[in-house]
């Protein structure tokens, strides 16, 4: 084979494999649980491939070997029949053993996913059409707080998420960290994961939940323990009072224009529950559940017309004058 052809084939093979790494890939595990799940996947893949290849080879041999025409079709061949019976029995037993072995592999591999570690950090996550409410639960209520669309976790500490839904069925999935689990109204499901490396991972709703299902994502940011503690202490605080006149006006307008009916900003009179908590909105990395990176332009576009960016989402277009928009924009940006 010429060098050109060989390098062409290598490139061709590398192309689909290129999709296997990254911040949202079950084939590139960054947690104990996703590594266990990948091992289950590989075990099933190898066994299924071997069985499939064996079946195809036997089939090919059977097609290739013509029965000899001299044999009478109705004549019995006792030794042959006995051997065929033994082979079928042997393969039948092998099938049962393989299924049992795969069940054991699957059970053992999933134990870490459903573990209930007493030292776990507990998060309560509620799925909404089409965003995520994230509540950090601590023993003392003054350390519990709510945020949205972004989960910050410490590395090397188990995180247990309790999942529920406010409307339809959603599914919580961070491929790089753990398996999938549904969020169902009236029921609480749990799943656990332990990130091995600091980094930013991407989670996605994995159960079709309506118009904007595809734009129901979230960021998972795994931080070193001390950095996580700092973030948690900061996040736990109420929003600081705005200092400059423009943000002060923004805060007033946030109430006057009805934003406060749907959004909470802790420490202010805004206590709405229909939309994401915005207390520390300015420090998030994305807007509208992972739809766009959060920056001045995307925030401006969202405030001007949320229905343009995410058609059908449950925030209506608000009729704001441009000076009002600028003030609210400024107010939200300083909510760090």
Residue whose CB is less far from ligand HEC, 157 or 334: 334
Cβ atoms within 10 Å of 199's Cβ, excluding its own: 15
H-helix or E-strand spanning residue 223: strand 217-223
Q: Does 288 bind Cu ion (CB under 5 A)?
A: no
- Choose among 120, 165, 113, 156: nearest CA to 138: 120
Least Cα distance to 134 among 120, 143, 142, 145 occurs for 145
Q: Residue 168: name its binding partner from Cu ion, ligand HEC, none (Cβ under 5 to 8 Å by kind).
A: none
CB of 137 to ligand HEC, least distance (A): 20
Beta strands in 107-198 (DSSP E): 121-128, 131-137, 145-148, 150-154, 159-165, 170-173, 181-183, 189-193
Confirm if 239 and 268 have CB atoms less than 8 A apart: yes
In angstroms, the CA 12 to CA 16 distance is 8
Q: Does 37 bind Cu ion (CB under 5 A)?
A: no
Part in contact with ligand HEC (CB under 6 A); list of ranges 1-9, 57-65, 185-193, 310-318 = 310-318
Query: Among ligand HEC, Cu ion, none, what binds residue 205 when CB lies within 5 to 8 Å by partner kind?
Result: Cu ion
CB-based burial of residue 269 (10 Å sphere; 0-12 exposed, 13-18 middle, 19+ buried)?
exposed
C-beta of 145 vs 302, nearer to ligand HEC: 302
Q: Is 313 in the site for ligand HEC (CB under 6 A)?
A: yes
Q: Distance between CA 242 and CA 260 in Å, rounded?
A: 16
Binding to ligand HEC, residues 109-168 (CB under 6 A): 130-131, 148-149
For ligand HEC, the binding residue among 127, 203, 242, 276 (CB under 6 A) is: 276
Query: Is 289 one of the binding residues for Cu ion (CB under 5 A)?
Result: no
Which of Cu ion, ligand HEC, none lies near 275, with the C-beta cut-off 5 to 8 A by kind? ligand HEC
209 sits near Cu ion (criterion: CB under 5 A): yes
Q: Which residue number, 190 or 235, has a Cβ lying nearer to ligand HEC?
A: 235
* Residues 222, 223, 226: CA angle, nearest 5 degrees: 150
Give the binding site for ligand HEC (CB under 6 A).
130-131, 148-149, 212, 257-259, 261-263, 274-276, 278, 281, 284, 287-289, 302-303, 310, 313-316, 318, 320, 328, 332
Give the binding site for Cu ion (CB under 5 A).
170, 205, 209, 216
């Amino acid at each position: 084979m010429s060098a050109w052809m060989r390098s062409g084939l290598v490139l061709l093979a590398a192309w689909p494999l290129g999709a296997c790494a990254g911040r949202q890939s079950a084939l590139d595990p960054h947690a104990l649980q996703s590594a266990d799940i990948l091992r289950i996947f590989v075990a099933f893949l190898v066994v299924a491939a071997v069985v499939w290849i064996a079946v195809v080879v036997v089939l090919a041999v059977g097609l290739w070997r013509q029965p000899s025409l001299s044999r009478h079709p109705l004549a019995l061949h006792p030794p042959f029949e006995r051997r065929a019976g033994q082979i079928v029995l042997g393969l039948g037993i092998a099938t049962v053993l393989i299924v049992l072995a795969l069940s054991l592999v699957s059970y053992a591999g999933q134990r870490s996913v459903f573990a209930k570690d007493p030292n776990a950090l507990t998060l309560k996550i509620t799925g909404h059409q089409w965003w995520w409410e994230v509540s950090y639960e601590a023993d003392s209520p003054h350390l519990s707080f709510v945020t949205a669309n972004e989960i910050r976790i410490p590395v090397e500490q188990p995180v247990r998420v309790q999942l529920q839904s406010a409307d339809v069925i959603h599914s919580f999935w961070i491929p790089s960290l753990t398996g999938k689990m549904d969020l169902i109204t009236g029921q609480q499901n749990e799943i656990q994961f332990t990130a091995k490396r600091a980094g930013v991972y991407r989670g996605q709703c994995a159960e079709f939940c309506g118009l904007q299902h595809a734009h129901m994502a979230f960021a998972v940011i795994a931080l070193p323990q001390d950095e996580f503690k700092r973030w948690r202490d900061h996040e736990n605080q109420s929003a600081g009072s705005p200092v400059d006149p423009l943000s002060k006006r923004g805060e007033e307008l946030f109430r006057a224009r009805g934003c406060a009916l749907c959004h909470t900003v802790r420490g202010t009179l805004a206590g709405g529950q229909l939309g994401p908590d915005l207390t520390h909105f300015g420090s998030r990395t994305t807007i509208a559940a992972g739809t766009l990176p959060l920056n001045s332009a995307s925030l401006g576009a969202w405030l001007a017309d949320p229905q343009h960016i995410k058609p059908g989402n449950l925030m209506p277009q608000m009729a704001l004058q441009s000076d009002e928009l600028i003030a609210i924009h400024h107010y939200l940006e300083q909510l760090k």
